[in-house]
Chains A and B, each alone.
Chain A
Amino acid sequence: GEDVEQSLFLSVREGDSSVINCTYTDSSSTYLYWYKQEPGAGLQLLTYIFSNMDMKQDQRLTVLLNKKDKHLSLRIADTQTGDSAIYFCAESIQDTDKLIFGTGTRLQVFP
């Protein structure tokens, strides 16, 4: 079946790096995504990675994909208080157009 899991909470000090992890079960994923949700707001697409890649970097964001272990991570360098939000990983399944979301990781950045 399709299942995406994330740890629920992460707390980091401002200026440190944050690493948010995600595991998924469906090996036919085509794209894997990271979304950010601030309180009371919709979802903002941060970055995505194609399933045949193992790394993607975009400014402060680095995505690592271990397809063998079905493990995805998002690293945020120099974390700021404005990065405090819930982060969702999601996978798109081959031949469908729906996204399967994880439960979200609440990132709290303290001074």
Chain B
Amino acid sequence: NAGVMQNPRHLVRRRGQEARLRCSPMKGHSHVYWYRQLPEEGLKFMVYLQKENIIDESGMPKERFSAEFPKEGPSILRIQQVVRGDSAAYFCASSPGAQAEAFFGQGTRLTVV
């Protein structure tokens, strides 16, 4: 049973471009969470999704950021018109249900140049 898979592991984007980060949850997991880790900081919650539904997006910036978890395929975190301040590690976690243990992926390290 493969763990949570995130790709790419590293992503470099120029200011103004779009970044798309993918997360494939563990088999049998229908709950996905995205967290952001700025340099030298802890992880900050961004969004919690179930298949085709956004459950809690209280940590998402109001503009340029969106997330989806379609019926088929991975969860996508999309950042439009990236800025230098978006440079961070973005972690995805999945769980089989609410209040269950969440397993983290290796993260995608986004660098905006």
Contact = CB atoms under 8 A, between A and B. Distances in A.
B48 A42 contact: no
A interface: dominant SS: strand
Contacts of B59: 98
A103 B42 CA distance: 4
A97 B33 contact: yes
B73 to A, nearest CB: 21
For chain A, give the interface size range: 20 to 34
A104 to B, nearest CB: 5
A98 B48 contact: yes
Interface string B37-70: 0000111110010000001101100000000000
A97 B48 contact: yes
B49 to A, nearest CB: 10
B1 interface: no
B43 A43 contact: yes
Contacts of B105: 42
A100 B99 CA distance: 14
Contact of B42 (A31, A42, A88): A88
Interface of B: 4, 31, 33, 35, 41-45, 48, 55-56, 58-59, 91, 95, 98-99, 101-107
